[in-house]
Each structure stands twice: as structure tokens, then as C-alpha cells.
Chain A
């Protein structure tokens, strides 16, 4: 079957009224029951990258009655096998296929949606290819590694009408006590908010190690520069202090994108600037302890690591009351995962639509670039460039290792 062609019963409404052709065997699970929708109403899913976060994502999707989990992919044998065992145990069969190469999973015409929880350097390549293959996408945060990737991911999603959710469950989950009074207008016009997050990403120069695990190293590296195997280089632990890929600039943006995805996401939600991007980043040298301030088109300032200021400290306008606005919420049941599945069915944009997720990632990337160049920057969201700043524009993207491109 052509990879773009997919007959899916879910696409068509029940009123299509097509006659059943020849009789065929219908399993009881296919028919569904009071607790479990019929197969034609279940979303068929696969997962790519089933490590720490990926296993959590898999677990949430797997436990949904309206999802049928049929495939997974990981380049580490042990991770892949364990993840398959989870699915097999859940369903009591061995139908789930485990892949090493994500392209094989994406080429399957029966899969409706995928969740991606690989290291960040893979997100754009995989997500864009998934959209090309007609899949809806749930992608872990931070959704991008570079500034150029975001618009390309958005374009791919819109081109093919894909539902594409970014992955920070904390943006709605962790910051409501700030969101509610601000959106209710109780703090007046918000002048500034501070985000404390560390550390910056660093170059990885770990020594070569014997490969103590079965891993497709070339495929793990993917579009990132070649480097010898080291267990800390590819560890998926949540450390951002040199013990996992999250710390290293070839694969991620350090704390700025790791916890930054949550905190900047929360800050932009609190201040209702999710739909815009900063227009300027000011680098404050501060006697060797630099910090940043981002200015938004509406005048809001988001600080990064402002001295003597706690995380998410908000500066409002005392005595002023602004009109209240309804707080956007998840659709469907089951948090951010339920929101995604609901939107896959209804084709609405999810709470953490890729465009909003990218706007958060931009904050992190602009910050990392400002710290790297140790100076202030102007940013044009319309052109996705640093106007008149050829040097900074060099850091908008980076060349990908063959054969990968976006």
C-alpha cells in the first residue's frame, strides 16, 4: 500500500453506510464491549524512544481504552524489549512489533498517531517525517533543538492537517495557582515574571567507552555529530549535570530547555503570551553572573535568573484590575495525553499545540544563544531571524549529519 494511502474506518462517519463485502472473522476485541470501544473507534498508536520519559508516555497511552498500541521503536535492545514486554503483558498477546529503525514504524499504514520521546536532536526529523506519513504526533518537550526546526515542524503539521501536541504536562498542571489570579485580572497588567533555570548546555567531550549495551550507536547519534560511545553521553537519566544527554549541546539545550520548557512554558502561560515570541533579549553582564531579560511586543519582560528573585515571581500593577479571561484547559479526559487523543478524534488543536510549544522553545534557544555570544540580541518572529545580525543568524540552525535532513 502506498505510504500516503490509508483506508481508515475512523476517517469516515458512521453514516457512510457502506455494505460489508465478504464475511470475515471479527474478534471480540475488535467489536469492543461496554468498557472498550470497538477497534474502529480506537486510535492506533506507536511510540518512538521508550526510555525514561517514553516509558511514562507509553504507559499513559497504553492504559487508555480508546488506544490500541501496536508498535514501538528504540535503538537500545534492552529498552526496546522491555517496552514490548509491557505492551504484550497489557494485551495478553505478542502483536506489538518492536523496531530499531523509526522509518519502518512510520511507514506503517495502520498507525494513526505516534508519541516521540527520543533525545531532542531527533525530534524535528522524526516529527516532520511522521507528518509526511500522515501520523498525528505527540512529541516530548523540548520539541526543538534549534530555532529553524520549529517553523518546519509547524509547517509540516499544518500542511497535512496533523494534530501535533508538544509534551509539557506541567504548563497546565503546575502553575494554576499563578494562572488563575492573573487571568482573573487580579494582578492588573503584568510587567514582568522571573524564571530561574540552570544550567546552560555544554559541549560533550566524554571519552570513548566499550559499548556495554546493545545499542545502534549510529542511529542513536542520528543527525548529531559523530562521537564515540559513552554511557553518560546517551544516558536518559534526568540529570542535567553531565550525566546524561540532556546536559550536552549536540543533543539538547541543558536546563534552559529541559526545565526551561516547563518554567518558560508556565511563565508564558501565566502572562498570556503563549502565542507570541520575544522581540529582544538583553544580556546583563552583572559582574560575571549574567542574566537575561526578554521583552515581548506587548511590553512584558520575562527574566531569566534575575538576581535575588525567586522562580515565577510576578510583578503586576498594584491597584489595577484587568478584565478576566477564561483559562484554556485540556479537552477530553486524562490530562495532556487525553487532550491529545481527544483532538486526534475531533481534529481540534490540542492545548499544547506545536505552535505554542515552539514559542516556548524559542525563549530557551534565544537565551542559550545570548549566553553563548555573551551579548544582547534582537529577534524578528515574522522572519525567524536576528535582524541585521549575521553572527547570531549562524546559530539559528546547524548542519545535520548525513543522511538526515529536515
Chain B
């Protein structure tokens, strides 16, 4: 039944009846604790990805690899990151894959793909909270493309931690860059630091933003942050 489903998948396109693909759906669920079945399933999915199947079919494959994909799928997915029609769905699988190789593929793509796709890749790095991507993101904070710079800042905010916060602090003090987004990301870092019991570091960030030079909204956010930090001491 799986053979037939994959044969049909190769001809799959928008408007196709999805019922014949049910065996693939079943296999995804049933293979949860059957390593051999899952490996076989993954191999078939990757083979479809590397074939001349339609965009829609490959999108479908990526949706399944988002659940069952392992390091074995990474090369095939990585190859699609540069492709305008497939980059997003390749990320659909890679972003959620808890493997070093998936993270590495995204980091490498961050410097290779064009700006339009780069924004998406940076978003995925942020969602993964990939601290190893911080050096790459740092370099992109002042990119000439404002969307890239923005995406880099937001990704750093998602990643959080002391290192990301320091990068953002430095960027916030420089003359260039998208200040509101950088500060928003810095505030996100401060929240993560506070949640991670790093109250002193968080408080330092908030105090640095609670100054007259900042906009009212930033001062408000900083004040709220100071309250959150100091209430723990009170």
C-alpha cells in the first residue's frame, strides 16, 4: 500500500485527491516506535524529494519530513534552501529537526542564499534558538538590506542569552541599524535572562534603556523590566 501511495505521490499536484496518500499518513503515525519502518519511510520521502515530482508533491514530502526527518534527510533538504520555490518548505522540515546537521545546514545557507530567502533562514535560526548562529547574525545586523538586518535582530532576540544580548547591546549603541527592532530583541533577551535566573544581567539591560534618550515606549518597557527584576529582591 505504501508503494502505491508513493507511486501516486510522484504524480501528485494541486487538485489531486489526497485519499490515496493515506498510507503515508498512517506510516508516519505508526512508525513512531518502529525505527526500521521509519527509516524506510524517510528514505522513500527523500527519494521523492530528489525526483522530478511537482512542487506540491515535494511540499507534501517536506511536511512529513518535518515529523520523521533525521540527519539522513538533511542533504536533500539543504539543496533546496537556495531554490525560491522550495526554500520555505525545506525549512519547514529543517527548522523543526532536532539535529546538529539541520542547524548547520541553515547556518551555511544564511551566508549563501539571496536576501529574500535569507530572511526566512534567519527566522528559522531564531526559532531554533541556535546560539552557534550568533556570529553570522552579528554580521548581518548592519546588512544593507533592511529586511535582512531586521531578521537578524529578531533572530538574536529569539536566541537570547548573554552572548546574543551583548551583540544587541553593542548594536543598540552604534549609530546605524534598525534601532527599534534591535531594542525589541534586546528586551526579549532581557526577559529570557530574567527567566533564566540571570537577574543582574537583565537588570543591567533594562537600566541601560530606561534613559531619557530612548522613546517613551522603550522607557516604559524598561521600567516594566526593572520592576520585574526588583520585585524579586523586595
A–B in direct contact per CB < 8 Å = yes
Query: Which residue numbers of A lie inside 8 Å of B, CB to CB?
Result: 2-6, 132, 134, 148, 155, 158-161, 202-203, 205-208, 225-228, 372-375, 390-391, 393-405
A-B contact count (CB 8 A): 124
Is the Cβ of A159 less than 8 Å from the Cβ of B98?
no
Is the Cβ of A398 less than 8 Å from the Cβ of B66?
yes
State which of B131-139, B166-174, B197-205, B217-225 sits at the interface with chain A: B217-225
Is the Cβ of A160 less than 8 Å from the Cβ of B220?
yes
Q: Jot down 8 A-B pairs with beta carbons below 8 A, ordered by A.
A: A159-B225, A203-B18, A208-B15, A374-B29, A394-B96, A398-B95, A399-B92, A400-B120
A401 (CB) vs chain B CBs: closest residue: B88
> A396–B95 Cα gap in the complex (Å)?
11
Is the Cβ of A160 less than 8 Å from the Cβ of B217?
yes
Interface residue from A5, A148, A398 paired with B216 (Cβ < 8 Å)? A5
The binding surface of chain B is classed by DSSP as helix
Is the Cβ of B117 less than 8 Å from the Cβ of A134?
no
Given A391-B32, A397-B95: 13 more A-B contacts, CB < 8 Å: A2-B180, A6-B217, A155-B191, A160-B220, A161-B221, A206-B14, A206-B15, A372-B29, A391-B67, A395-B96, A397-B96, A399-B91, A405-B154
B92 (CB) vs chain A CBs: closest residue: A399
A202 (CB) vs chain B CBs: closest residue: B18
Is the Cβ of A402 less than 8 Å from the Cβ of B120?
yes
The bracket for how many chain B residues form the interface is 35 or more
The answer to whether B73 has its CB under 8 Å from any CB of chain A is no
The answer to whether B143 has its CB under 8 Å from any CB of chain A is no
Contact with A along B98-134 (1 / 0, CB 8 A): 1000000000000000001101101110110000000
A373 (CB) vs chain B CBs: closest residue: B29
The answer to whether B89 has its CB under 8 Å from any CB of chain A is yes
Is the Cβ of B215 less than 8 Å from the Cβ of A5?
yes
Interface residue from B30, B56, B94, B123 paired with A400 (Cβ < 8 Å)? B123
Most buried by B among A134, A205, A390: A205
Known: A148-B127, A402-B123. A4 touches B218 (CB 8 A): yes
Is the Cβ of B16 less than 8 Å from the Cβ of A399?
no
Known: A158-B224, A402-B88. A134 touches B217 (CB 8 A): yes
> A123–B15 Cα gap in the complex (Å)?
27
Contacts of B95 in A (CB 8 A): 397-399
Contacts of B188 in A (CB 8 A): 155, 159
Is the Cβ of B119 less than 8 Å from the Cβ of A4?
no
Interface residue from A4, A148, A228, A403 paired with B14 (Cβ < 8 Å)? A228
Known: A390-B98, A399-B127. A225 touches B92 (CB 8 A): yes
Interface residue from B18, B117, B191 paired with A159 (Cβ < 8 Å)? B191
Contact with A along B176-214 (1 / 0, CB 8 A): 000011001001100100000000000000000000000
Contacts of A391 in B (CB 8 A): 32, 67
Closest CB-CB distance, B48 to chain A, in whole Å? Answer: 16
Closest CB-CB distance, A373 to chain B, in whole Å? Answer: 6
Interface residue from B30, B59, B127 paired with A225 (Cβ < 8 Å)? B59
Is the Cβ of A160 less than 8 Å from the Cβ of B96?
no
> A400–B117 Cα gap in the complex (Å)?
11
> A5–B180 Cα gap in the complex (Å)?
10
Contacts of B155 in A (CB 8 A): 405
